[in-house]
């Protein structure tokens, strides 16, 4: 299948080694039907880590391109090494990329690799977003990781989802803040009553960030105190484009 240039996106995954970039790429390929078997890094059978040394050491050594199709668009996912010894591979990928996805771990918090990734994206004035991985594991701390990112990188760090933690510190449900809809492993679910206050606060923060990226939206927000979902999207697009907003999402590459 051929694609016109406006239907092609080159997305670079970058961040600290071991935070799940290759697993995320594998999950994206599997969930979009590009592959029919979900490989795992410990098993040495992921699509992007195919070199014998990568399989042996369970790390990425070179940049790999994982093409997939989503909503009639072709996404070329560029999986880059997190080890500093192979930083040249990251630089090469960023030359071809339209945007960058920083992959962080909810288990490890802010890492040196995340700091380096942010600086590389900022130096190139590239749109960026943040994926916080391993949120399904015990004692994962999404909110703590977000707080650390905000302290380091400022108010640009803007969660667009809100995870709800159950027993053992494991995320059981997450809320799409834009539409205020909750989802668990079975699909859409009601927002737990005891989480409603936190969800409202996170939604207000998202709305404020979107308003801050567009002067007309800011005036309306001050006048009326709220924005519609479409207006929030408008503000998010503007903020991502000019670098004032870096959306934050969470997930688990192992389970999708």
The larger pLDDT score, comparing residue 32 to residue 54, is at: 32
Residues 6 or more apart from 102 whose CB is under 8 A from it?
14, 15, 114, 117, 118, 121, 128, 129, 130, 131, 246
What average pLDDT does this structure show over 87-110?
A: 91
Distance CA 62, CA 64 (A): 6
- For the cut 90, the answer to whether the pLDDT of residue 53 exceeds it is no
DSSP 48: S
What average pLDDT does this structure show over 216-230?
A: 93
Cα Rg of the chain, angstroms = 18
Distance CA 166, CA 250 (A): 15
Upper half-sphere CA count for residue 106 (Cβ side, 13 Å)? 24
Angle at 108 between CA 105 and CA 109, to 5 degrees: 80
DSSP 59: S
What average pLDDT does this structure show over 106-112?
A: 84
- For the cut 70, the answer to whether the pLDDT of residue 41 exceeds it is yes
Distance of alpha carbon 227 from the chain centroid: 24
What average pLDDT does this structure show over 72-81?
A: 95
Q: How confident is the model at residue 93 (pLDDT cuts 50, 70, 90)?
A: very high
| pLDDT in the model for residue 168 | 67
Question: By C-alpha distance, which of 133, 134, 135, 99 is closest to 117?
Answer: 99
Q: How confident is the model at residue 61 (pLDDT cuts 50, 70, 90)?
A: confident
What average pLDDT does this structure show over 170-183?
A: 89
User: What is the pLDDT of the chain when averaged over all its residues?
Assistant: 91
The answer to whether the CB of 156 falls within 8 A of the CB of 238 is no
* Percent of the chain predicted with pLDDT > 70: 99
- For the cut 90, the answer to whether the pLDDT of residue 209 exceeds it is yes
User: How distant, in Å, are the alpha carbons of 41, 133, 186 from that of 143?
Assistant: 27, 12, 24
Give the count of beta carbons closer than 10 Å to the beta carbon of residue 209.
Answer: 23
Rounded to whole angstroms, the maximal C-alpha distance in the chain is 61
Distance CA 174, CA 192 (A): 10
| pLDDT in the model for residue 252 | 87
pLDDT digits 0-9 by tens, 126-135: 999 999 998 8
Say which residue the tokens 């994926």 belong to: 131
- For the cut 80, the answer to whether the pLDDT of residue 109 exceeds it is no
| pLDDT in the model for residue 58 | 81
What average pLDDT does this structure show over 55-66?
A: 87
């Amino acid at each position: 299948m051929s694609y016109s240039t406006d239907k092609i996106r080159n997305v670079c995954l970058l961040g600290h080694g071991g935070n799940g970039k290759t697993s995320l790429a594998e999950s994206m390929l599997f969930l979009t039907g590009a592959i029919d078997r979900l490989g795992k890094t410990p098993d040495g059978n992921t699509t992007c880590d195919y070199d014998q040394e990568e399989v042996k050491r369970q790390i990425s050594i070179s940049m790999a391109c994982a093409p997939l199709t989503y909503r009639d668009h072709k996404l070329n996912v560029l999986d880059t090494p997190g080890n500093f010894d192979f930083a040249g591979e990251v630089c090469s990928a960023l030359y071809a990329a339209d945007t960058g996805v920083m992959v962080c771990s909810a288990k490890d918090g802010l890492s040196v690799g995340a700091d380096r990734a942010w600086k590389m994206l900022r130096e190139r004035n590239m749109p960026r977003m943040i994926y916080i991985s391993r949120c399904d594991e015990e004692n994962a701390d999404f909110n703590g990781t977000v707080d650390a990112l905000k302290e380091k990188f400022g108010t640009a760090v803007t969660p667009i989802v809100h995870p709800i933690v159950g027993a053992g510190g494991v995320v059981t449900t997450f809320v799409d803040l834009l539409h205020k809809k909750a989802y668990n492993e079975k699909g859409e679910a009601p927002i737990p009553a005891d989480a409603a206050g936190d969800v409202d606060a996170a939604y207000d923060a998202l709305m404020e960030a979107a308003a801050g990226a567009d002067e007309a939206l800011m005036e309306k927000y001050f006048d009326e105190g709220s924005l519609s979902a479409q207006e929030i999207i408008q503000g998010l697009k503007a903020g991502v484009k000019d670098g004032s907003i870096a959306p934050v999402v969470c997930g688990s590459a192992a389970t999708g």
